[in-house]
Amino acid sequence: MVLLSWRPTRRFGHVWLILLAVGYWLLSSMPFVSLLAARLTSAYQPITSVSQVQDATAVVVLGGGNTIIRGRAARLDLPSEDTANRVLEGARIYRLMGNPWVIPSGGISSHRGGPPEADAMRDLLLRLGVPPDRILLEDRSRDTHQEAVLIPPILAAHQIHQFVLVTSPIHMRRAMGAFRATGMHPVPAISTSLYGSDESWNMAPSGEGIQFGAAVMHEYVGWLYYWVRGWLVP
């Protein structure tokens, strides 16, 4: 408002408002956001054959957030839709590989409290048929960098030399870079995407476009931040 009210900067203010509106429209439009996402996802495919997993003997499933539902006298700590998608993919790959170790990874969210995210992931894995004696929890990490630091000692303790890494398509590039920085070279396995409705090519802004745009920009900023900190190898 200051830019618009002060005459010397009024023209700049109008240009800024136009750029802001165009930027909002682009980042809430599924076609444009999908093009941005392709830069993150194009190198990765789902695992469809046991030959793709090479010599892997474990499946690591990275957490993707949790959801807290509060009642009057209690609360439920549930995995987010993104986390549930990753767990579903991890269970599918478990069955494909035979009987590998499965490592759900995710600690306590600092701003939500409650039990570790890995606990809810383990419960889902059990429901999906993964035996409890094949599950190894990593329940201390709070971000992807910490997961990449805390998981290798678990692998070493169980003589696991290669593993499959499961996460969402747009998160995989940063996750792979983070594990490479700790000397790990896992087999990437993307879960299903949360985004891509029948209106994916509708240029009009949409709620799905806004959510997808925010998630994609989070990954770009996160990748840059990790690179600056030396937490990933491109």
pLDDT at 4: 47
* Gap between the terminal Cα atoms of the chain: 42
What burial class does residue 121 get, using C-beta atoms within 10 Å of its C-beta: 0-12 exposed, 13-18 middle, 19+ buried?
buried
* pLDDT computed for residue 45 by the predictor: 93
CA gap 180, 184 in Å, rounded: 5
pLDDT one digit per residue (tens) for the chain, 234 residues:
444 455 555 555 556 566 665 655 566 678 778 888 899 999 999 999 999 998 999 999 999 988 888 889 888 888 899 999 999 999 999 999 999 999 999 998 655 667 899 999 999 999 999 999 999 999 999 999 999 999 999 999 999 999 999 999 999 999 999 999 999 999 999 999 877 654 555 666 666 777 888 899 999 999 999 999 999 999
Q: Please give the torsion angle defined by the CA atoms of residues 185, 218, 105 and 193, in that order, rounded to the nearest 10 degrees.
A: -80
Instruction: Return the domain boundaries, the chain.
Output: 44-229
Name which of 59, 94, 65 is nearest 78 in CA terms. Answer: 65
Those residues with Cβ within 8 angstroms of residue 95's Cβ, 6 or more apart along the chain or in another chain? 129
- What is the per-residue pLDDT for 2? 46
The owner of tokens 């806004």 is: 210
CA distance 178 to 186: 11
Which of 108, 65, 110 lies closest to 84 in space, CA to CA?
65
Q: In what order do the strands lie in the sheet with 58-62?
A: 101-105, 58-62, 164-167, 187-190
Query: pTM score, two decimals?
Result: 0.86
> How many residues comprise the chain?
234
Q: What is the largest CA-CA distance in the chain?
A: 71
The DSSP symbol for 138 reads B
Amino acid at 172: M
Third-level CATH fold of 44-229 = Rossmann fold (3.40.50)
Residue 216 to residue 38: CA distance in whole angstroms: 10
